[in-house]
Structure 1
Amino acid sequence: MADVVAIAQDLIRCPSVTPAEGGALGVLERMLGDAGFTVHRVTFSEAGSADVENLYARIGTEAPHLCFAGHTDVVPPGDEAAWSHGAFAGDVKDGKLFGRGAVDMKGGIAAAVAATLDYLAANNDKLQKNDGGSISFLITGDEEGVAVNGTIKLLAWAAERGEKFDHCIVGEPSNVEAMGDTIKIGRRGSQSGTLVVDGVQGHVAYPHRASNPVPDIAALIVALSGDPLDQGNAQFQPSNLEFTSVDVGNTASNVIPAQAKAKFNIRFNDHHTQETLRALIDARVAAAAGNRIKAHVIWEPSNSDSFVTRPGAFTDTVTAAIREITGRMPDLNTGGGTSDARFIKNYCPVIEFGLVGQTMHQVDEHTPVADLEQLTQIYRGVLDRYFA
């Protein structure tokens, strides 16, 4: 089998702090190109955001088409002096591979590449002869950033070229405690907003001449936090609304402020769309405010809807490969934050399965070498079953 540790080290040693490419896409371009893939490097731009380099590579022209998706950009290392191994050194010590991106998610990409190279070598280049389906890699450089010049545009670019995906695996670190314990089959949506309560500014000694928005916004916060948004369902936990800050912009202790604001975020399941969720919160604000309190919500733009890939043949394929290698029956889960899978779900069924995520974004981020090797074997098992 291809040396997954060496591939992961080559990627980690590229300082691709988002949105910098750092040489990581070049590593993949050379490796996949040498294996017979047609490789495209695509750069997207948008006013107000950095240019982002992306990569799309495919071998084969026929269906079924399995795509491995992910990102080579990483979060900053923070205080590099606090690392026991260099953040971009890719050192192996005591059976662990250290470095920024080892878990999130250069290790996952390395495992997918190693498994694919091994599958191609063992199957006499079937995909190159166009009679064994297709494998592709859709790799972005801004998942850890604002995510405007990466996957969402690369998918549109691919669609314009006539690319059609049957299924996709995103190599994000999905496992919680041990390899094989979790497959992410969906994610809750994310919607942020600001609750605004208008009052009348005045002197604290003359409250009858003013209208204080502070106790009013406190009452609305309690009202919105108290009632559940839903009860969840078989695939999703209940939606939740969390207030994250309260601000009145007032530095004087003898002035009643004119306005109070409270920021919040909602992680919502498939009981709601963004439109129905906003309507529900607006209605609850109006009901709690009554005729006296002047309140409204300013909604932030969001491209993060909830989604779920229903259990079926595809999840069964991945589950079987996991059980063969780890002996575990993975939990089909929709918890956690957002990922680029929220964009991919508009094009094909998508699941997330990668390494154990306990050290992602931490100082001394690392993954056991044994986990990297198991993930490679699992991906290879998926390929064998998928194209059988």
Structure 2
Amino acid sequence: MSESPALDLARALIRRPSVTPEDAGCQDLIAERLARAGFAIERLRFGPVDNLWAVAGDSGPLLCLAGHTDVVPAGPAEQWTRDPFAAEIADGRLYGRGAADMKSSVAALVVAAERFRTAHPDHPGRLAFLLTSDEEGPAVDGTQAVMSWLAERGERIDFCLLGEPSSTTQLADTIKNGRRGSLNACIRVRGRQGHVAYPQRADNALHRLIGLLNDLTAHRWDDGDAFFPPTSFQVSHLHAGTGAENIIPGEAEAVFNWRFSPLQSVESIQSVVHDYCDCHGVDAGAIEWRLSGRPFITTEGALIDAARRAIRRHCGYDTTLSTAGGTSDGRFIAPTGAEVIELGPLNASIHQLDEHIEAAHVDRLAGIYETLIGTLIGELLID
């Protein structure tokens, strides 16, 4: 028996090159282990995406352990100092694509659940896993589709622990208890092309677009609140012109994004944009909108309390709540009414070359998870 079961499993998962939406056998390995631990396994294939739903326990509130088995592309392997899918350990660090995001925490969740089930086979409540291979991609046929499938069955998640890499400088020093919403827009402004020496004969589409973008950039969307920073507007792409220096562009295009708190809605943002479009003679109807996710927040509750106690026990310090960073699959789970948090390893190297974490953190994380599960189920679910 290995002295580092979670680390061993993490390495086995990293060695499977599951670049989104491929699962590369990760869920097969996990399903075999969960089945031995008494979980009922259901495999869900939506489009090109493999998903796994597994449940143990007969009745009562449901605690879901969630994560993803897919990873972002490693890029040129020669730019890594080690094979991105070899799961090498060097100088106490575990290297590989997915080491931080998020195969190590998936492994820790599995081992924690195995240990808890062995110690408490007749535990009250239910324990579940929701795993997908579509978190790093479009996120359409993954957790979002599974949540629709669960809704059709009348299944409800009460608590959800995601293993996303939340830590900043020390293991478990930060819990993500919410995320900002993400709204994207692409706008195409049409004017009339012409010679720069005869501007009266043309309509510079770029000038009108820049005026619109200046107003959107200067606009004070909100001041944030106790949990969220102010809403952020960022232009990510701008294109206009033919490349010739003496041609007034007849078309201009921009892509931009809002990261917004519950103080804003999609409709409130769109209303402001439409008003500015009117000011600059831009057709707001030509905007293509895409909502990546609405904001969500778990302010307090049994799940956060259990996490704090587990972290204090294993790490000896208090954790911090945060909503910073991008978004996660929690955006599909929280709207059902579940308490949702993210707790995982350090995120300093995610999506980077030579992605890595401290090897010892994998089993420490399993210990935190096991204590969290036991605390929540033991103190909340026993009536």
Matched position secondary structure for 1:214 = helix
Deviations 1:339-385 (A, max 9, x none): 11100112212111111111111222111122112211111111111
- 1:43 shift after superposition: 0.5
What is the match of residue 76 of structure 2? Answer: 79
Corresponding residue number in structure 1 for 2:44: 42
Q: Deviations over 1:55-97 (max 9, x none)?
A: 1111112112110001000111111123232211122222221
Tell me, in whole angstroms, the C-alpha distance in 1 between the residues paired with 2:58 and 2:290. 37
What is the correspondence of 1:296-307 to structure 2 with a 5 Å cutoff?
296=284, 298-307=287-296
Tell me if the contact between 2:179 and 2:323 (Cα under 8 Å) persists in the aligned partners: yes
Counterpart pick for 1:24 among 20, 23, 26: 26
Residues 230-241 of structure 1: matches in 2 within 5 Å?
230-241=222-233
Q: Secondary structure at the match of 1:260?
A: strand
The Cα of 1:285 is off from its aligned counterpart by: 3.2
SS at match of 1:302: strand
Q: Which amino acid counterpart does residue 133 of structure 2 have in structure 1? A: G
The equivalent position to 2:17 in structure 1, one of 8, 15, 18, is 15
1:173 Cα deviation after fit: 0.2
How does 1:295-334 map onto structure 2 within 5 Å?
Answer: 295-296=283-284, 298-334=287-323
Q: CA deviation at 1:208?
A: 1.4
> How far has the Cα of 1:249 moved from its partner?
4.0
Match of 1:369 in 2: 359
**SS where residue 335 of structure 2 aligns?**
coil
TM superposition shift of 1:136 = 0.6
Aligned pairs for 1:114-193 within 5 A: 114-123=111-120, 125-127=121-123, 132-193=124-185
Give the alignment's Cα RMSD to 1 decimal. Answer: 1.6
Deviations 1:171-211 (A, max 9, x none): 00011111121111111111111344332222222221112
The match for 1:276 is 268
Aligned length, in residue pairs: 374
Q: Deviations over 1:250-282 (max 9, x none)?
A: 233222221222221111111111122211222
Partner AA of 1:41 in structure 2? R
1:3-53, Cα deviation, whole Å (9 max, x unpaired):
1111111111111111111010111011111111111111002xxxxx111
Instruction: Sort the Cα spacing of 1:366 and 1:294 in 2 relative to 1 into closer, same or farther, 3 A.
Output: closer
Residue in structure 2 matched with residue 88 of structure 1 by the alignment:
85
Q: Secondary structure in 1 aligned to 2:259?
A: strand
Match of 2:245 in 1: 253
For residue 314 of structure 1, what is the amino acid of its counterpart?
A: L
The equivalent position to 1:378 in structure 2, one of 344, 368, 379, is 368
Contact 1:41–1:53 under 8 Å retained in 2: yes
Equivalent residue of 1:301, what SS? strand
- 1:70 aligns to what? 67
Contact 2:190 2:205 in 1 (8 A): yes
TM-score by length of 1: 0.92
The Cα shift of 1:148 comes to 1.0
Distance 1:214 1:165 in 2: 49
Could you list the runs of 5+ residues in structure 2 that have no partner in the other structure?
Answer: 379-383
Scaled by the length of structure 2, the TM-score of the pair is 0.93
CA deviation after TM superposition for structure 1 residue 164, in Å: 2.0
Residue 53 (structure 1) aligned with residue 50 (structure 2)? yes
Aligned amino acid, residue 89 of structure 2: V
SS, match of residue 267 in structure 1: strand
Residue 356 (str. 1) matches residue 352 (str. 2):
no
List per-residue Cα deviations over 1:214-264 (Å, max 9, x = no partner).
233222222211122100001100001111222114233222221222221
Answer whether contact 1:174 1:357 (CA < 8 A) is retained.
yes
Please name the residue that 2:193 is paired with: 201
Counterpart-to-counterpart distance in 2, 1:62 and 1:303: 34
